[in-house]
Amino acid sequence: MAFRASILLYSASNTRRCALQHVLRASKSTTATSQVYVGSGGESTKPFSEMPGDAGWPVVGAVRSIPELISGKVGKESYVYKLCAKYGTIARVNIPGFGWMVFVNGTEAVETMFRTEGKYPSRGAVFEQAVTNIYKHSNWPSGLIFAYGEDWKRIRSAIGKQVIPRRVGNLTPPLCSVTGDLLNHLEETTSSNGGKIEDVTPILTKWAFQNTAYFVFGENLEVYNTDKQTHQEFMEAGLEFIKQVGLIVPLPIFKYFPSIAYRTFIQATKRMRELGKQVMERKVVALSEEIARGVVDETRAVGILEQWLIEGKLEPEDALTQACDLLSAGLDTTKNTSTFMLHELAKQPALQDQLCAEIRTVLGDKVNPSWEDLQNIPLVRYCLKETLRLYPAVEMNTREITTDVVLNGYQVPAGTAVISCNSLMSHSTDYFDEPDKFIPERWNKSKEDSIHPFVSLPFGFGQRGCYGRRLAELEIYILLTKLIPRFTLSTDQDSIALFQGTVLKPNEPVPITIKER
């Protein structure tokens, strides 16, 4: 499970722009790092064959490592932790079916890995081809998350414009409304039991679905109301999609045997497409009427699917695939990240008070923040960054390098999959003081100590960075900005048992108690 997470997402996902350009400009080491680590070899470098690691047995390679790779264990129990503890900051492993994979645990090597990702960044052709072949077999167009090569570039070019900050910012009012529904639901469902929520994750799942559905489809697909059965089915299909894709990609036996995971994935994807198509058809009718009246406004707060249809750069079936893929990816990551954040805040009442004061200073008597307001509440941003450092959605990021490079003194040939050990670096005393503590203020850029821009990349980096990053940030900024001034949070749970599936998630209920301020 930990292994499969490295290739999905959203390059964290896999995934969603040059996410850290503003940070990189502040880095003094970027140019020097590239000069040192990129090259075709030389007297100071060692050959790839001398890199430490696990070659395994003849023919089958390190097949014995697969159970640990997919075990879902995190922290010191994970395969990656044990690998780096044994071999150091760089190690290679011969994975049957995939060949040599290089694991790096250091900022300079990670920066080089991303800066040499090439024209068509790939998380590994084997992984991307696996899902693309499933789509082709089902006569579905390729999706952005799993497409590769020129097909990926075509899709990315067609849909890149819609996630610029100005356009995402237009969604602030409707997403404030979605979060308002969540807070009212929390108050109603906890009024009779002293504010205790036995497990906040399922509630945040519904909230994340509504947010992501509004972003994608421009509609509030409300799921608190049990009468909305199709909306509930849509949400469950999206969750099943992202869960099962993590099971079928690492060991693509579906080519020879349609496993339960494969069949479940197909069923979930079909159901998502059926329900998504119903929404899309309504949008097509409404757009046709607007066009006939000459009133189409591309700058208004509409869903991303509608923007694609307005611009006409994607065929309807192509747009439907992108919409469904983004819905499932955004749903799972956002609800888990929000769960982790509320858990950490619930343990620190003083931090909640500090947040509340900062939010009220900016908003005054306003109930809902504007896009501009959200840019002026730095502690909210720090809380999200610190949550993603402690709980990165994916344990690892992967790039298949397109040129020979030197990593940590070893020559690595083009075509090799290089994997950054995100979680290890984020929890390392080499990069952070008290790395296991939730300290949002460490991200305050006015502090003397700077954080290396490649030590924590929750949204990935470069062209293949997370497409929905701006949405995820907006959702969670709004959640904190509306929740904290209204409720105080508390919990007796000191830590959360974790499981690394397709993405990192809680492996037990996450109880939280809320009370009106």
Q: Rounded to the nearest 5°, which phi and psi values hold at 402? A: -105, 0
pLDDT of residue 474: 96
Instruction: Express as a percent the part of the chain with pLDDT over 70.
Output: 87
Give alpha helix (H) positions in 297-414: 304-311, 316-346, 349-363, 371-374, 378-390
* Cα–Cα distance, 387 to 337 (Å, whole number): 7
User: Residue 433 above 90 pLDDT?
Assistant: yes
The stretch 68-87 carries a mean pLDDT of 90
* Cα–Cα distance, 409 to 41 (Å, whole number): 9
User: Residue 163 above 70 pLDDT?
Assistant: yes
Q: Which stretch, 71-85, 146-160, 337-351, 438-452, has highest mean pLDDT?
A: 337-351
Burial of 281 (0-12, 13-18, 19+ CB in 10 A): exposed
User: Residue 200 above 50 pLDDT?
Assistant: yes
- How many CA within 13 A on the CB side of residue 289? 5
User: For the segment 475-498, what is each residue's pLDDT rounded down to a tens digit?
Assistant: 999 999 999 999 999 999 999 999
Q: Rounded to the nearest 5°, which phi and psi values hold at 48? A: -55, -35
Q: How many domains are there within the chain?
A: 1
User: Residue 446 above 80 pLDDT?
Assistant: no
The stretch 92-97 carries a mean pLDDT of 87
Helix 378-390 × helix 349-363 angle, to 10°: 140
- Angle 208-211-217 from CA coordinates, rounded to 5°: 130
Q: Which stretch, 65-69, 166-170, 174-178, 328-332, has highest mean pLDDT?
A: 174-178
CATH of the domain at 123: 1.10.630.10
* Lowest mean pLDDT segment, chosen from 7-11, 34-38, 155-159, 413-417: 7-11
Q: Tell which wins on pLDDT, 237 or 36.
A: 237
The stretch 143-160 carries a mean pLDDT of 88
Q: Tell which wins on pLDDT, 219 or 50.
A: 50
* Lowest mean pLDDT segment, chosen from 94-103, 331-340, 480-489: 94-103
Range of the domain at 457: 2-516
Place of tokens 């390392």: 428
The stretch 87-110 carries a mean pLDDT of 91
**Chain-centre distance of CA 122, in angstroms?**
16
Residues facing residue 490 across a β-bridge = 513
